[in-house]
Amino acid sequence: MKRDEQGLSLGIKIGKDIKATESRRERKRKKKGRERRRRGRRRRSRSRRRRRKRRRRRRRRRRRRRRRRRRRRRRRRRRRTTTTTTRRTTTTTTMKMKEKEVEEHEEEEKEEDEDKESMDKNNEKEGEEQEKQEDRDEEKKRRRKRKRTRPRKRRRK
């Protein structure tokens, strides 16, 4: 801006100043456009955002779980196959270890099968007991009904 002798600004602009103000205006306009665009995005509902968050969390959890499981499995396998901390184990020892592993696995499976069978038996017993109890309850109900349906004797006057 040009200033007169008293230092008051006149309404006349020099070319440089004009350019500066124009570029400033342009910048502001761009910024406003950006803001508007952002505001437009904000219109989406919160529920959608929450859903997306939940999905992300679930995915993360699943990934973590999978990773953990894989790591655990790998560690277990490594521990089972090697006898010592060093990797210099003879083939015979590893073979023995594997044989032991197989035997243990078979034993575990047998135990599991036995447990399952015992559980099934227990369930069957419980089921039979429940049926008996239900039959008893029905009998009781029938008896009660019989008692109720009997006509009342009239009193003689």
pLDDT digit string (tens) for 82-95?
Answer: 555 555 656 677 78
pLDDT in tens, 26-70: 877 877 777 776 666 666 788 888 999 999 999 999 999 999 999
Residue 91 lies inside a defined structural domain of this protein: no
Residue 120 lies inside a defined structural domain of this protein: yes
Decide if pLDDT at 17 tops 60: yes
Residue 26 lies inside a defined structural domain of this protein: no
Decide if pLDDT at 131 tops 60: yes
Q: Are 35 and 42 in contact (CB under 8 A)?
A: no
Instruction: Say how many domains are in the chain.
Output: 1
Distance CA 133, CA 125 (A): 12
Q: Given this model, what pLDDT does residue 39 score?
A: 63
Helix, strand or coil for residue 30? helix
- Predicted TM-score (pTM) of this structure: 0.24
Residue 65 lies inside a defined structural domain of this protein: no
Residue 155 lies inside a defined structural domain of this protein: no
Residue 9 lies inside a defined structural domain of this protein: no
Neighbours of 144 (CB within 10 A): 10
Q: Given this model, what pLDDT does residue 6 score?
A: 58
Distance CA 66, CA 129 (A): 43
Distance CA 138, CA 103 (A): 52
Domain range enclosing 114: 98-141
Distance CA 37, CA 40 (A): 5
Helix 91-149, helix 46-81: angle, nearest 10? 130
Helix, strand or coil for residue 86? coil
Residue 112 lies inside a defined structural domain of this protein: yes
Neighbouring C-alpha atoms within 13 Å toward the C-beta of 155: 1
Residue 122 lies inside a defined structural domain of this protein: yes
